[in-house]
Structure 1
Amino acid sequence: MLSACSDPQTVDEQPRPALVTQPQPASAQVLSYPGEVRARHEPELAFRIGGKVTRRLVEVGDRVKKNQPLAELDPEDARLQLEAARSQVAAAEANLSLAQAERDRYRTLLERQMISSSQYDNAENSYRSAAARLKQARAEFDVAQNHATYSVLRAPEDGVITRRLLESGQVVAAGQTVLVMAADGEREVLFSLPEGSLGQLQLGLPVQVQLWSRPDQLYPGRLRELSPSADPQSRTFAARVAFEAPEAEIELGQSARVFIENPSQSALAVPLAAVSAEAGQSFVWVVESESHRLRRQPVQVGNYQHDRATILQGLEAGDWIVAAGVHMLLEGQQVLPVDRQNRSVQISGE
């Protein structure tokens, strides 16, 4: 009974072992993005007039030369418009001849003082009006003649057909895209950039490009273009990399990988198991040098790799952090720092 009334004995909390490590410099902070080789110029081809497609002369993948016919529309409507314009020109020429003859007669009568000046002025105005109408008719004829040639879609330059959006018998409108062509010349790599990496890159940044068909070779390039808006479905930003020098063996459609090194930020690398998160905030457990107690340290994480994570902000190179079992730790908990061989680690504040 007397022992039951005595004060309970205090049990000292025993520090639990914790595997610790120090952040290592991320000497190669390289971001990698998959991409596809595309042409620098990819014009979307369309007829300048509407009509019914009668012939499709190319397929996807066909190489074409400048001014080569690619597709044709039914030329009947354009031919009829051309004939109508030609008839208007003929009528305007006849009307002008009549107005000129009438003006010449009135001029003779005016010289003989057989008509008034106002009557001659009317004849002169009729002549000028007929001349203007002939000029208008000839301009309309030229337009109709051009429209007759627009029934044939021709390649604007040498290249390769990459997309086909028409079939024979289809009715298309003026300006409707029917073919997409990749022009010969410069080649680029198109890739998608996540929103989190957008602020780390800038135009003109040097990059390295690796083709899947030649993994042992890297091609130098520069970031040439960044889309100002995100794709509504993938929520990524389209980016284009231009090769520093033209390479003959780079073909359209080849799979590629873009490597971008960002030296503007000094980053540290920690084991992936050392990073935890709560309420959207990433953090690591830092071991205090004197007390060996834990402190939750918020960090900004860059990119994740298969076994390491890049820390952009929140850690110093001399910090000691817990590298495993972080989900079982508490704020202020005292630990016994050990290495991977279960040997005690001396943590100093220097």
Structure 2
Amino acid sequence: MRSRSPAAARAVLLWSILPLALAGCGGDTAPEEAARPVLVTRPMSSTHTANAFAGEVRAREESPLSFRVGGKLVERKVDVGAHVRQGDVLAVLDPGDLQAQARAAQAQLIAAEAELGRARADQARFGKLAKDQLVSRSTVDAQNAAAEAAQGQVNAARANLEVARNQAAYSQLRAPRDGVIATRNAEAGQVVAAGQTVFSLAADGVREVAFALPEGMVAGIKAGQPVQVESWSQPDKRWNGRIREIAPAADPASRTYAARVTVDAPAGALELGQSARVYLAGQRNGDIAVPLAALQRAGGRSAVYVVDAKSSTVKLVPIQTGPYGEDRVPVKNGLAADAWIVAAGGHLLRDGQKVVPVDRDNRPVAVAAASTAR
């Protein structure tokens, strides 16, 4: 008997397998989809929510320092960050012209005093002659007037000398109080005008946090409102504070309102220029709040996935939210306070999908039936 060729053997094998394959494809039921693990949480009280704003530690008193006279800056004695004491010399102008003016005023005073001496002598001499009726009364009056005029010239020359000496002293810029040099706006060799800012001094004492409020929130925030302040360098510590002032007009570039917060922090806890966060208490538009990561969109509205305890499925529930906080948003209505919601990953779910609720440690959560939505 002649043996089959390899091609004929492969054909026989294919026809024997094909019925089995068709039988396997003819089933009526698909494999059931496995339940998806989801991180769940319950809404928290909205009193725990807060709006946070980035700020900068500043001094309560910040003074721009400038010379009271103009001139060429010949020496700068301090730099940014230097701590200075009241009366310390910070910068020096070329005093040459000012000292020359003082010498000129001194010479004018000497000349005026000499003229006064001559006028006084003439006044005394003509007074004696008037007693002997050797000169007229009008001549005596003229000498008296000349003496008074000479006295006035001396007074004016003395005042001019005092001004010139003061201006010569103004060639040295001194610290008005203890503090830290915050900014520097001029260098040696530069010609500065009277009143032009050379340094900015942050006075020692009370420290504040400066931050900006958006237009949409400024109407609901008032001076004196309590806040909490957290330093970026000490994230585990918060200090109580109060809003001291809010600018009456918005910044034309950022459209935000500058605000200042006084902080009840111990001395040395906050350093100038440090970054800080200002926490404002969230507005109580609702009694509960949900994480921002839990929010979804349904028909143009905010929504969250709520776990159904009976069917172990999720349902997309529309909610009405209040002003957004840093990481949570208050819920006005649409959600029960004891509901279990999907805290993250909702974009991977669909309505009615089977889930397995777990906590942040990946442990199963026993979900109880929630009460009626608010």
Using structure 1 for the length normalisation, give the TM-score: 0.75
- Secondary structure of 1:110's match? helix
Q: Structure 2: state its 5+ residue gaps.
A: 1-41, 304-317, 343-350, 357-368
> Does the Cα contact within 8 Å between 1:193 and 1:236 map onto a contact in 2?
yes
**Paired residue for 1:250?**
270
With over 3 angstroms needed to count, the CA separation of the structure-2 counterparts of 1:25 and 1:94, relative to structure 1, is same
For residues 226-305 of structure 1, the aligned pairs below 5 Å read: 226-262=246-282, 266=286, 269=289, 272-274=295-297, 301-305=322-326
Closer/same/farther in 2, CA of residues 349 and 76 from structure 1, 3 Å limit: closer
What CA distance in whole angstroms lies between the structure 2 residues aligned with 1:269 and 1:136? Answer: 77
1:186 and 1:246 in contact (8 A); partners too? no
1:304–1:260 distance in 2 versus 1, CA, 3 Å:
closer
Residues of 1 paired with 2:93 and 2:298: CA distance? 64
- The structure 2 residue matched to 1:120, chosen from 133, 140, 147, is 140
Contact 1:24–1:268 under 8 Å retained in 2: yes
The match for 1:98 is 118
Structure 1 position 25, deviation (Å) = 5.2
Partners in 1 of 2:102 and 2:299 — Cα distance?
A: 75
The 2-side partners of 1:144 and 1:26 are apart by: 67
Contact 1:201 1:262 in 2 (8 A): no
User: How many angstroms apart in 2 are the aligned matches of 1:107 and 1:30?
Assistant: 90
**CA 1:340–1:222 in 2, change beyond 3 Å: closer, same or farther?**
farther
1:24-49: CA deviation from partner (whole Å, max 9, x where unpaired): 75232311011111111111110010
Deviations along 1:41-72, one digit per CA (max 9) or x if unpaired, are 11111001000000111111112111111110
Measure how far apart 1:318 and its partner are: 7.1
Residues 206-225 of structure 1 aligned to structure 2 (within 5 Å): 206-225=226-245
Instruction: Report how far residue 85 of structure 1 moved.
Output: 0.6
Contact kept? 2:71, 2:93, Cα under 8 Å:
yes
The 1:94–1:151 alpha-carbon spacing in structure 2 relative to 1, beyond 3 Å, is same
Unmatched runs of 5 consecutive residues or more in structure 1 = 1-21, 278-282, 286-295, 325-336
Q: 1:123 to 1:300 in 2, by over 3 A?
A: farther
Name the CA shift for 1:269/1:275 in 2 (closer, same or farther; >3 Å).
farther
CA-to-partner distance for each residue in 1:274-311, whole Å, 9 max, x for gaps? 5876xxxxx569xxxxxxxxxx99x67412555x5335
Query: What is residue 204 of structure 1 aligned with on the other side?
Result: 224
Is the CA contact 1:61–1:161 (under 8 Å) kept in the aligned structure 2? yes
The 2-side partners of 1:37 and 1:340 are apart by: 51
- Does residue 89 of structure 1 match 2:109? yes
1:305–1:181 Cα change, 3 Å? closer
Amino acid of the structure 1 residue aligned with 2:324: N
Aligned to 1:54: 74
Give how far 1:267 is off. 6.1
**What does residue range 124-203 of structure 1 map to in structure 2 within 5 Å?**
124-203=144-223
Aligned-pair CA distance for 1:340: 8.1
Shift of 1:269: 3.7
CA displacement at 1:317 relative to structure 2: 6.8
SS in 1 for 2:157: helix
Contact 1:31 1:260 in 2 (8 A): yes
1:303-347 CA-to-partner distances (Å, cap 9, x unmatched) read: 2555x5335x7x47779xxx99xxxxxxxxxxxx979869xx999
AA of the residue aligned to 1:31: N
3-state DSSP of counterpart to 1:185: coil
Bigger Rg over Cα: 2
Supply the distance in 1 between the matched residues of 2:113 and 2:83 (Cα, whole angstroms): 47
Which of 38, 51, 59 aligns to 1:31? It is 51
For 1:80, the aligned partner's letter is A
Q: Secondary structure at the match of 1:87?
A: helix
Deviation at 1:230, TM superposition (A): 1.6
Structure 1: distance between partners of 2:117 and 2:167: 29
Specify whether residues 218 and 339 from structure 1 end up closer, same or farther in structure 2 by C-alpha distance, changes over 3 A only: farther
Letter matched to residue 177 of structure 1: T
Question: CA–CA distance in 2 between the matches of 1:250 and 1:349?
Answer: 45
- How far the C-alpha of 1:249 sits from its partner, in A, is 2.8
1:65 to 63, 85, 93: 85
Q: How many residues align?
A: 299
Q: CA deviation at 1:244?
A: 2.1
